Amino acid sequence: MQLYTIIDWFFTIGSLVLAILLGVYVNGAACLLGVFLYFIYPFIMEFSYNLLSVREEICIRNMPEIPIVYDESYNITACGIEKWHPFDSCKYGNVYRQIRQQVKGSHFTPKMLSRGTFLYLGMSKWYLLKMCYSAYASTLIELPVFFLPGAFLRSCLLDSMLLATSGSIQAAKLALEKGWAINLSGGYHHASLNRGGGFCIYPDITLVVNYLKRCCNLKKIVIVDLDAHQGNGYERDFLNDSSVYIIDFYNSYIYPGDHIAEQAISCFEHIDKDTSDQQYIKTLQRDLETHLKDDMEFLIYNAGTDIMAGDPLGHCCISAAGIKRRDEVVFKWAQHKKIPFLMLLSGGYQKENTFAIGESILQLIT
């Protein structure tokens, strides 16, 4: 558990105990002091944390044998509450174990990056403060958990997503070193620097781009987003940034339908339940050949599998074999162009997706 989360729990419990004691031993009005502390301490905690935290250098001290990034804490368990959402919150561990059955080399275990690093890469202080309150966070994760303490959501959900976001950034560094890397989580493409949505809290794709530009001096980055949903979060962050080239295939009939974010897309293709494997792969190959230029220095691949037939949220009809072929096409194009390649897992909302993800990754790395 992170130090921040421990302090969060301390103030949460302390303020509630104070409210009860004042109510019992003084009067009902006095307990409002404890309630007031409960609502005000996040302001104090966030201000102090932002002030004291410093930016850290991102480096890979122990180079792994295979550039796969994973930590067991990626998997989300919240006393069963996570089962209320269709997202398979433990798919990361299942994919990892499937890969481990055939690949024995060491992987990279990410560490949580400092608050100062996230702020340097553009995270909004105000947005981070709002995430301390479960009433706000519940609107982003689409679960009715507004009645729970913010510390509970942080320890059961937010810390896992923040670690996965840290993993995406460190995976980008690893990709620069090894030529490619896969983070077995991340791809929170509905999140921007100052807002979230669609079960996406932290904008790992935007943070990766900002890291590459600010810390690695890269000038031209391409995002290939093949999740079934529009990547409106990072698209809003790069609306006026011509150095970020966005290729986005998605079902425009479903969430989020963000017409403002659409303006950032360089190449858009609509897909739905009538799009066959053959049509999909042919269109993808054509667009990659047309839009992947020689001056592009890094490729971020958002490999959502909610385009798979039967997925309850994607409403598409691509087979497991089609997903394998899709990933192979993007991976080989990156290799052909000699562009460092970062793959993020993103969406996928049925148990069958997990096996398809594992099989696809195995074909790329073996």
Catalytic residues: 190
Residue with tokens 């970062």: 342
Structural contact between residues 188 and 198, judged by C-beta atoms closer than 8 angstroms: no
Name beta bridge partners: 223: 246, 300
Distance CA 191, CA 137 (A): 12
* DSSP 8-state code for residue 110: P
Burial letters 118-152, b for 16+ CB under 10 A, else e? bbbbbbeeebbbbbbebeebbebbebebeebbbbb
Secondary element (H or E) of residue 326: helix 320-337
Distance CA 69, CA 64 (A): 9
Q: Tokens representing 31?
A: 């307990």
With both helix axes pointing from N to C terminus, report the angle between 204-214 and 159-178 in degrees, rounded to the nearest 10: 40
Q: Which of 356, 286, 339, 366 is nearest to 175 (CA)?
A: 339
Taking the CA atoms of residue 263, residue 265, residue 271 and residue 277 in that order, the dihedral angle to the nearest 10 degrees is 170
CB-facing half-sphere around the CA of 350: CA atoms within 13 A: 16
What is the bridge-based pairing of β-strands 341-344 and 244-250?
unpaired
Amino acid occupying residue 292? L
CB-facing half-sphere around the CA of 106: CA atoms within 13 A: 7
Distance CA 316, CA 307 (A): 5
